Structures are given as structure tokens and as C-alpha cells.
Structure 1
Amino acid sequence: MPNSCKEIRQELVDCLLKSDCVVVKRHTVKECLQTENTDDVPRECHSIRRSFFECRRGLLDMRTRFRGNTS
């Protein structure tokens, strides 16, 4: 994975590791990402997940592939 998305990915993992989904309910990070129950995962984690998605999508977009991600 390119360096431009690694920081966002790590931030997402750290956020999920602190969430009730992992700490209280003892789910894995992967299970918390796939779950539809948003009460156990804070809004901050959802916004970080969206940023990570946008970063990954930017890597596949041919227009930004040559210029690189802006963030």
C-alpha cells in the first residue's frame, strides 16, 4: 500500500481499537468495520473510514494516479 494511505489506515485502526465495539464487546477490528450497528463505533471512526476510502479510491482514479493524492 502506498505511503499516502498508510497513516489514515493506522489512524482508523487506532480509533477502532479504542471503540466500545472492540473494548467492551470484544469484536475484532474487521468485525467492527463490517457491522451495521453504528452505536458501538464512534462517528470519528466513521469519518476516518470515509477518508481512507477516498484515499484508496484516489489511488485508482486515473486522473489522480499520475498527480498523486492531494492530502
Structure 2
Amino acid sequence: MSCKGLLAKYAECIRKTECMAVQKRDLKDCMADKAPECETYRYALYQCRRGQVDARSRIQGNKGY
């Protein structure tokens, strides 16, 4: 399974934050700030990527996505 959908949603959320909209900073810099409004997407992306490494969930598939 791929985490592309979650990555796209997380990047879209970061683009809407004050960091990118007002301050015009780089996407990578804004991701490092860990915006609280995008925390759920960041955690879901982390769980998805972790599931790709874990052998048991790699066979069974990521849960909930």
C-alpha cells in the first residue's frame, strides 16, 4: 500500500498554514515547525509509513486506510 494520499493531504494542510501563506517559507521548513492544525495528518502519515516497515502489517495491510 502507498501513503501517497496521506502525504498529499498533509502537504495541502501545510500549504494552508500561516507559515506558507503569510510568511512565504519553504514547504520543508514549515513541515519542521509541526503545525498543530496538521498534527492529525502528520501522525497518520507516520503510522502509514511505519506500517510499511513492519512485516506483520505489510502482509495484513495498513489498518483504516
Q: Same fold (TM over 0.5)?
A: yes
TM-score with structure 2 setting the length = 0.86
Structure 2: gaps spanning 5 or more residues = none
Superposition pairs for residues 15-54 of structure 1, below 5 Å? Answer: 15-35=13-33, 41=35, 43-54=36-47
Q: Distance in 2 between matches of 1:58 and 1:44?
A: 23
Runs (5+) with no aligned partner, structure 1: none
Kindly state the Cα deviation for residue 17 of structure 1 after the two structures are TM-superposed.
Answer: 0.5
Structure number having the greater helix percentage: 2
Q: TM-score, normalised by structure 1?
A: 0.80
Kindly state the Cα deviation for residue 34 of structure 1 after the two structures are TM-superposed: 1.2
Q: Report the Cα offset of residue 44 of structure 1.
A: 3.0
Identity, % of aligned pairs?
31
Letter in 2 for 1:61: D
Select which of 54, 57, 64 maps to 1:64.
57
Divergent runs of 4+, >3 A: none
Cα deviation, residue 51, structure 1: 0.6
C-alpha separation in 1, matches of 2:15 and 2:31: 11
What's the offset of the Cα at 1:8?
0.5
The alignment covers a number of residue pairs equal to 64
